[in-house]
Amino acid sequence: MARIALNRPSRLNAVIPQLVRELLEAIEQADRSGARVIVLSGRGRSFSSGYDLKHEVVGSPPDNERTERLSRIQALTTRLRNSPSCVIAQVHGYALGAGAELALAADFVVAAEDAVFGFPEVEAGLSVTGGVSAILPRLIGPARARRMMILGERVDGQQAYEMGLVSHVATAADLPAVVNALAETVRSRPVRAVEGAKRLLEEGTWTDLATALDAEVRFALRAQDSGEALAAQQRFDARSSGSQAEGA
C-alpha cells in the first residue's frame, strides 16, 4: 500500500504547479512499485483548500504556460482514474475547488463528518478542472451539480455521503481506521478482479451499453485466467457451503 500526502499544511495544502508535478511522480512511482492501494490524504488541518491563487505570478503568464499548467491538472485526474491501484481519498477539513476535484478522481472517498466540499471557482471568476464538469453531475445529478458549481453551495461530509458525492463517512477520530479497514478489504481481493472491476466501472460510466458488454467479456476472461481467481472461488464456495449447512 502506498500513502501519498499533500504537504503544504501552512497553506491548507493549496494546489500549486509544483505540488501537481510531485503528485504525478508519486502516483507513477506507486504504480511502478505494484501497490494495490494508494491512500491520498492531506497533512495538517485540511485535505486541500483548492488552487493557490496567491501563488500566481504578477501579470498574465503566456497562453502556452497556462495551457501547460491546466494540462498537468487534467493529467492528474487521468492518472488517478487509470491507475491499476485502487485509490482512496482520505478527506478531512476543506476539500474545495482543485482539492475537491482531486478527491473525486479517487475510486473511494472517505470523508470526515465535518469535512467541507465545495467548488468556489465560478464565484472567483474561474472554471472547474479535473473533469469535474462530467464527474459531478454523474455522482449527484445535474440539479445538485449546478447548485454546487454555479451557486457555490458547500456540503459537509455527512451531506456529501447522503447525496452520493463520497463513498464513506466517519467521525474525524475514526477516519484513519475506516480508511485502513477499507484498504485491507481491497487488498484481500484478487488483483486482476479488482483491476478489471475498476476498469469496467470507468469504461461503463463513459461508454454505451454495447461497448460495456464487450469490455465485460474481455475482463471476465482475464480474471478467470488468474490463479487468484481459483483460490478466491474456492474460499467463496467454502463460505457458501458453511452458510447453507448452518441454515439446514
Residue ranges covered by each domain of the chain: 2-187, 191-247
Residue 247: which pLDDT band, with cuts at 50, 70 and 90? very low
pLDDT score for 214 = 78
Instruction: Please identify which of the residues 121, 162, 203, 246 carries the catalytic annotation.
Output: 121
Return the SS3 of 118.
Answer: strand
Instruction: Please identify which of the residues 65, 101, 153, 228 carries the catalytic annotation.
Output: 101
DSSP state, 207?
S
Mean pLDDT of 151-161: 98
Share of the chain above pLDDT 70, in %: 86
The neighbour count for residue 106, using CB atoms within 10 Å, is 23
Element (H, E) at 37: strand 37-42
Query: Is the predicted pLDDT of residue 83 greater than 80, yes or no?
Result: yes
Burial class of residue 188, CB neighbours in 10 A (0-12, 13-18, 19+): exposed
Query: Is the predicted pLDDT of residue 246 greater than 70, yes or no?
Result: no
pLDDT score for 245 = 46
Residue that has been written with the C-alpha cell 505540488 in this structure: 19
Residue that has been written with the C-alpha cell 501552512 in this structure: 10
pLDDT score for 240 = 65
Tens of pLDDT, residue by residue over 170-197, are 999 999 999 999 999 999 999 999 999 9
What does pLDDT average to over the chain? Answer: 89
CA gap 220, 135 in Å, rounded: 26
pLDDT score for 69 = 84
Nearest CA to 149 out of 135, 163, 159, 162 is that of 135
Please, are residues 157 and 166 in contact by the beta-carbon 8 Å criterion?
yes
Nearest CA to 128 out of 164, 106, 109, 104 is that of 104
pLDDT, greater one: 100 or 216:
100
Least confident of 72-86, 92-106, 165-179, 207-221: 207-221
pLDDT score for 112 = 98
Strand 108-112 relative to strand 94-96, pairing: unpaired
Superfamily covering domain 2-187: 2-enoyl-CoA Hydratase; Chain A, domain 1 (3.90.226.10)
Query: Is the predicted pLDDT of residue 248 greater than 60, yes or no?
Result: no
Mean pLDDT of 53-67: 67
DSSP secondary structure, 149-190, as one string: HTS---EEHHHHHHTTSSSEEE-TTTHHHHHHHHHHHHHTS-
Query: Is the predicted pLDDT of residue 65 greater than 90, yes or no?
Result: no
DSSP state, 226?
S
Q: Is 121 among the residues known to form the active site?
A: yes
Q: Is 246 among the residues known to form the active site?
A: no
